[in-house]
A and B are shown apart, each in its own frame.
Chain A
Amino acid sequence: MNNVVKDSMVPISDYPTVSRDAILMDAVFALENAKNNFEGKEESAHWIVLVMDNENRVVGKLSQLDVLTALETHTDAVKIIDGINKFGFSPRYITTMREELHLKNASFERLYADPGIMASEVTQFMHNITESDSIDENTSLATAAHHMAARKRLSMLVTKDDNVVGVLRMTDVFTVVINRIRDEHNIKV
């Protein structure tokens, strides 16, 4: 695997972004638009939205999972069920409890359209960018793969002279790895 990160990254200009003043609704639709732009080409779609500060620096990222987590109901009853996770209950029991609560208390539509949550600032739900989220553009893809596995990241910000220039996604690295395996074993598609 001789390629370096910049050969496989998505340039930051191709990525959906919102400002740090944006509300969750803005981020949801930015993600949705990005997905629609790649309809039919799932491997090219973007699964995160980047959050930028006033000087156009990346300060956070928000994934689809973050959005779903943000939109969950947070009643006291839900908090208690979430809380008992660490007390030895089986996943099956927890699922049953959540289902019962769901049927008792709210429709699906209401659960996922809470206007209060949708109007909240995106910074409440984003992951702040830390040093371990970034990788230099000239790093080899082999090292990048190691960092993603070790740090459990589905994407990393690619930097050049400390400026973010792109995003390296798990799917990009995986594609290179698969191609390399094919070459090694002389497998034709």
Chain B
Amino acid sequence: MKDLEKLYDRVIQRVNINLRELEFEVNPYAQNAIPLGQMVRFYAFFGISPHHPLSFQFKNSNLAGSYFLGNCNVTNSLLYKSDIRGDELKKKGDIFQYQEFEIPVSKDEEINITDSLLIKTLVHNYSHDPETLEEFFIKDTISMNYANIHGSPSDGCFLGPFATADLTTIRDCVIRRFAYVQAGEVSHLDIPAGTVWVRSPGDFNFYYQHPVDKLNEYIYISPTAPPQGLFIDFVEDRKEAFQRVFDVVNIEHSTSVPSSASLDRYAVVKPSTTIGENVLVSQRAYLQNSYLGKGANAQENCYIINSRLEGFNVTAHGAKIIEADLGSNVFVGFNSFLRGCPDGRLTIGKESIIMPHTIIDIKESLTIPPGHIVWGMVRDEKDLANHSISIEKFSSIDSGINMGNMFFEGNGGAFVNAFKDRIHHILEANGAFFNGSERKGHAQKNQYISFNTLQPYPEGRKKGIYPTIVIKP
């Protein structure tokens, strides 16, 4: 396993060099994050379908338990149980709109991962950087458990557990645990744990800071402690259910799936769950005793338990919904954790926006009225009053507002419209509006994916390293 050890050390050293200005050492976090023995245990797999591009190249890397779709190159990297979804990459001839520029895409876009360590990380969407339209690069980067790298080229960065970089080019940055960044382009920033930052320069700037003492109950990591807390316990408690879907070659879900919907074979579905038309359920999603109405979706690492989603609901990557009733068109952002209880359910009125990385964790029933924006940490009615506002009122903000740890500057209407446009785009891309012949999206296209597996060297110096593999149509 010498080569695997060397590769691990090499990645850590490269990231350290990039982050020296921030005086951030990744060793304590990354050195023992994955026992090397684990990296030999799991197969990698990739999807092929007539609806997706196909171009993979894997070189001097470990890919344990990771999934690949689309155009993707991996070199000198370690990808542990990560999802690399290249099903929204740009195609040659596409026009990319950036400010007043219309930039033609000169060749099919590729995801290029080099000298990086990704642990249980989701990589999805496409490069939003106008300078690198044809390459969604991730290099010299380490991401910890359940991080999301979404449309965000990354160079020399560390993402803590449950951190998200969304539509942002990040260079030489530390994005600490449960922090969310959507800011176009950032460099040399150390973003504190529990930060939620959404910025469109010249239009608006939203910033929220989770109270760190309370956040530590949910997710905590330190140089001397691995990722721990309620979030980790929650997913660990359900790990066994996924073991079965990964061990069995031909799996049949017992749930009825309409012809316009897609249920990934690597998702877990427990009784009694109902899947409506145009629903998308992605790999590593977990559904239990829930109802997903027409056009709803559950993306990677989502958990929907004892809940009802009326329809056209976006449950973004990593979001968890437990004991809750969501009206139609409710958006639940990345890694949000919404938990009611049997005697105190959470009700979210239609067309509400739950901001990314929101925690709603209640012991008594709580109702969010229709058309509200909610952010931060909410544990009761009082918290809700300080962490929510009606979309109508938010739209009327013309200069700024401050509520507790939330700071907003700019035009509220522009902020709301940006979110609404984004939600519409997600529903469109996921096939929520499919009418039987037109407006196909992932829910319809993903029905025809077949999966193949890859294995590393089982013994010797190269144990754990996958051979160089090129896969083309």
Instruction: Give A contacts to B, CB under 8 Å.
Output: 80-81, 83-84, 86-90, 93, 96-97, 100
Contacts and interface: CB of A to CB of B under 8 A. Distances in A.
Contacts of A81: 407
Contacts of B400: 93, 96
Nearest to A96: B400
14 contacts: A80-B209, A80-B407, A83-B192, A84-B407, A86-B189, A87-B199, A87-B205, A88-B205, A89-B207, A90-B409, A93-B409, A96-B400, A97-B407, A100-B402
B197 interface: yes
Contacts of A96: 400
Contacts of A97: 402, 407
B468 interface: no
Chain A interface, DSSP helix/strand/loop, else mixed = helix
B192 A89 contact: no
Nearest to B200: A88
Contact of A88 (B183, B209, B405): B183
A177 B31 CA distance: 57
Contact of B405 (A80, A87, A90): A80
B178 to A, nearest CB: 16
Nearest to B404: A77
A89 B205 contact: yes
Nearest to B190: A86
B201 interface: yes
* B contact patch SS: strand
Interface residues on B, range: 10 to 19
Interface in B161-219: 183, 189, 192, 197, 199, 201, 205, 207, 209
Contact of A89 (B189, B209, B407): B407
Contacts of A90: 409
Given A89-B407, A93-B400, A100-B402, A84 B207 contact: yes
A97 B402 CA distance: 8
Given A88-B205, A93-B409, 8 more contacts: A86-B189, A87-B205, A87-B207, A88-B201, A89-B407, A89-B409, A96-B400, A97-B407
Contacts of B197: 87
Interface in B397-424: 400, 402, 405, 407, 409
A73 to B, nearest CB: 17
A86 B183 CA distance: 12
A173 B209 CA distance: 46
Contacts of A86: 189
B144 to A, nearest CB: 22
Contacts of B189: 86
Contacts of A88: 183, 199, 201, 205
